[in-house]
Amino acid sequence: MLRLDKIPDWLKQAHLKSALNVRDLAGLFGVSRSTIGFHVRKGDFPTPDFLAGKNGKACICPISQIHCPSREWYVSTVLSYLKQHGAI
């Protein structure tokens, strides 16, 4: 389970429909990007709200992940997750 001791002020002040990508979440929780993906696949963290770029289509090359859409979460989704898990 991903945990935070304290919610950063910038996250509290962000617009609820702002988007965070995997890199943003990895920095927020202090873990790697693959750890975020692991927790999503395991069901510990919400699935992305939408895919950004390239009309949400599948990767052209799954190995190099060239032209892969970015997985994005709304700030409201992340705050809801944190609230449910006692960080707020």
Kindly report the CATH number assigned to the domain that includes residue 76: 1.10.1660
pLDDT of residue 2: 80
Give bridge partners of residue 70 from the DSSP assignment.
Answer: 52
The alpha carbon of 23 is separated from its chain's Cα centroid by a whole number of angstroms, namely 8
- 23-75 pLDDT per residue, tens: 999 999 999 999 999 999 999 999 999 888 655 455 555 555 566 678 899 99
How many Cβ atoms are within 10 Å of 69's Cβ, its own excluded? Answer: 17
CA distance 45 to 66: 25
Considering the domain boundaries, does residue 37 fall inside one? yes
Question: Confidence band (pLDDT; 50, 70, 90) for 5?
Answer: confident
If you average pLDDT over residues 8-15, what whole number do you get? 92
Provide the domain limits for residue 53. 16-84
Considering the domain boundaries, does residue 79 fall inside one? yes
